[in-house]
Chain A
Amino acid sequence: MEPYKKHESIAALMNRSNVDTDQIIPKQFLKKVERSGFGAHLFHDWRFNDDGSDNPDFELNKPAFKGARILVAGDNFGCGSSREHAPWAIADYGFNTIISTSYADIFYNNCFKNGILAIKVDKNQLDKLMAEISANEGVRFVVDLENQQVTTPAGNGFSFEIDPFRKGNLLSGLDDIGLTLKHVDKIGEYEARHKQTFPWLWV
């Protein structure tokens, strides 16, 4: 995983609630056995017309949002299935930050495992950010994870909360498995106790 660095990027606006993982990456693309290349299919059913051409009405197809790394979206983003293809597609497309009021649990977890910072803000704050983008499409926000700060040109900046563990992992780019394996002795001890307590699970 790439370490997450402070950056200034275009913030794209997706003013929809309950964007589900079936929309983020429609199921016809789940059959790949590799991890990469899902960005080409992000939001496929919204993004492309039936003939495969770009749908000009779809927000992320707006020229002003080209190259955006920040996605500002409505409530309950990422609901639906646990498919990790959704954050893979989002990251592969180029986003490394999402801002919304709430996320589905599994999706939220999966974001951090894939180097995506998912920021939670209150409704009022989200409305301000959305208004700022609507008024000035292509506007760039600065995201500073180290200091847990977002700043915007119109002064709608804010600070955000984040679990210190998730923050540390994003900043260092360290993979979860490596971190857990530091405790491999403890796991072994637990397993030895487990065999004593639950012998029927080990036959």
Chain B
Amino acid sequence: MKKTMYEKIWDSHLVVDAAGQAPLIYVDRHLMHEVTSPQAFEGLRLAGRKVRNPHSILATMDHCVPTKNRDLPIADPIAKKQIEVMAENCRENDLNLYDMKNSNNGVIHVVVPEHGFVHPGMVVVCGDSHTATHGAFGALAFGIGTSEVEHVMATQTLPQKKSKTMLVQVDGTLSKYSSAKDIALAIIGKIGTAGGTGYVIEYAGEAIRALSMEGRMTLCNMAIEAGARAGLVAPDKKTYDYLKGREFAPSGKNWDLALAYWKSLPSDEGAVFDAVIALNAADIAPQVSWGTSPEQVVGVDGAVPAPESFENESKRKACESALAYMGLTANTRITDIPIDLVFIGSCTNGRIEDFRIAAEVTKGTKVARGVKAIAVPGSYHVKHQAEDEGLDKIFIEAGWEWRDPGCSMCLAMNGDELTKGQRSASTSNRNFEGRQGKGGRTHLVSPAMAAAAAAAGHFVDIRTL
């Protein structure tokens, strides 16, 4: 039988498939951060259970860590407690933790690939929905809840229902000004935030092959915003080249064994998907979200839609309430929307490539009056790499703040946040009400678009720069 990549990974990880029970699948890698794990450790302790395979775990601290003045004690007592509890749990269970002061620290989904911890064909979980990021390597990677974190720690398995498969085929060539972020947003704009519910998406086609590993991570990262359980890209030479030589990548004889296996993973020619969506990359303009759901998105040359333009009643209502929350009027051109704050960072767009392109746009500009712009590298490695390339200077000279790594304004849990009514251009992944601070208004964009907005004080069509 011809199989999709998802089916191959599923079949090779099936431990038990007993009648009347959800199938149990084996978990190869388990990623952790400080917010969704403490209660799982608590549960484990209370039940007198142990971590079955400590080597399968890599942990970091990212959600509530400060991105400046990291030498000072953490001001927020609860964040401080979370961080202490994380360190304690990892020590007690002998887990590999890149804590706040460790030179490997950063946002979990940025750090993990840097160390080659995830390989093609693995099943990877984390108590975090953006785990989908690692699908860029051809691994089945998805977010789980805290009870499941506990389950995986205790059993190394997870009861799972098999997902349906969706092929998202993106052919054609992306314009120089559009990026993986724009593909991700355009897909969500097309299928909606529930479009992928129940599916694992495989991204394929010329435009996907052309993306770098960083770009593929950005794309898979937002599979979850399309409602999907996970996103996958078939491994190829780029994947292997990226992994080779990294700390947790196989080496020597094992490399050859692994490589042979990895090459067997791509979906068989003629394998059947439950749904197929096609887009042409050449049609994808730089995207800007205008509402409070990632599906409320439009090309930068477009305008804020009017509620009446939606036929579906619930979409119409959603548009109305989004416009009210966002303080926007229908038919306003996107390029006429002024912004107060710019954030470049997060596990979606906090990698070296993102800062390179943003720096290219920023070079020789100044942050517009009244605008605050912060660049938060996804990890210390990204930060140091950028500094070696002199990118930090470009940002600083233009009036940006250059921070330490962390989730920062992606979810505004560490004190970096919007105040009521403030509007951001953000490279993160969610524009929900209050995501970046109560009453804050978020527009999701690519790093290049964010950098251009910082200099102009409003959105700009970077194709016209």
Contacts and interface: CB of A to CB of B under 8 A. Distances in A.
Contacts, number: 168
A157 to B, nearest CB: 25
A84 B254 contact: no
Contact of B193 (A33, A79, A114): A79
Given A18-B293, A34-B42, A79 B227 contact: yes
A22 B227 CA distance: 16
A34 to B, nearest CB: 7
B76 interface: yes
Q: Which one of A27, A76, A105 has the highest number of Cβ atoms from chain B below 10 Å of its Cβ?
A: A105
Interface in A7-24: 17-18, 20, 22-23
B412 A187 contact: no
A33 B145 contact: no
Nearest to A15: B317
B171 to A, nearest CB: 28
A22 B433 CA distance: 8
Contact of A180 (B20, B82, B157, B411): B157
Contacts of A177: 47, 49, 150-151, 154-155
Contact of A110 (B47, B145, B198): B145
A82 to B, nearest CB: 4
A199 interface: yes
Interface residues of B, number: 70
B150 A82 contact: no
A116 to B, nearest CB: 12
Contacts of B18: 183
A165 B39 contact: no
A35 B40 CA distance: 9
Interface stretch (B22-30, B300-308, B445-453): B22-30
Contact of A109 (B38, B145, B150, B411): B145
Contacts of B24: 180, 183, 186-187
B197 interface: yes
B434 interface: yes
A63 B44 CA distance: 39
A113 B261 contact: no
A40 B175 CA distance: 49
Given A33-B42, A45-B433, A187-B155, A199 B143 contact: no
A105 B201 CA distance: 14
Contact of B229 (A20, A75, A105): A105
Contacts of B148: 109, 113
Given A83-B36, A165-B21, A105 B78 contact: no
B432 interface: yes
Contact of B42 (A35, A109, A181, A197): A35
A194 interface: yes
Contact of A31 (B43, B82, B161): B82
A35 B39 contact: yes
Nearest to B15: A190
A106 B145 contact: yes
Contacts of A135: none
Given A31-B78, A82-B128, A102 B36 contact: no
Interface string A63-104: 000000000001110011111110100000000000000101
Which 6 residue pairs spanning A and B have beta carbons closest together?
A200-B250, A84-B145, A200-B254, A31-B78, A82-B143, A33-B38
Interface of A: 17-18, 20, 22-23, 26-28, 30-35, 45, 74-76, 79-85, 87, 102, 104-106, 109-110, 113-114, 163-165, 168, 176-177, 179-181, 183-184, 186-187, 190-191, 194, 197-201, 203
Interface of B: 12, 15-16, 18, 20-22, 24, 26, 28, 35-36, 38-39, 42-43, 47, 49, 63-64, 76, 78-79, 81-82, 85, 119, 122, 127-129, 143-148, 150-151, 154-157, 159, 161, 193-194, 197-198, 227, 229, 250, 254-255, 257-258, 261, 293, 314, 317-318, 411-413, 430, 432-435, 438
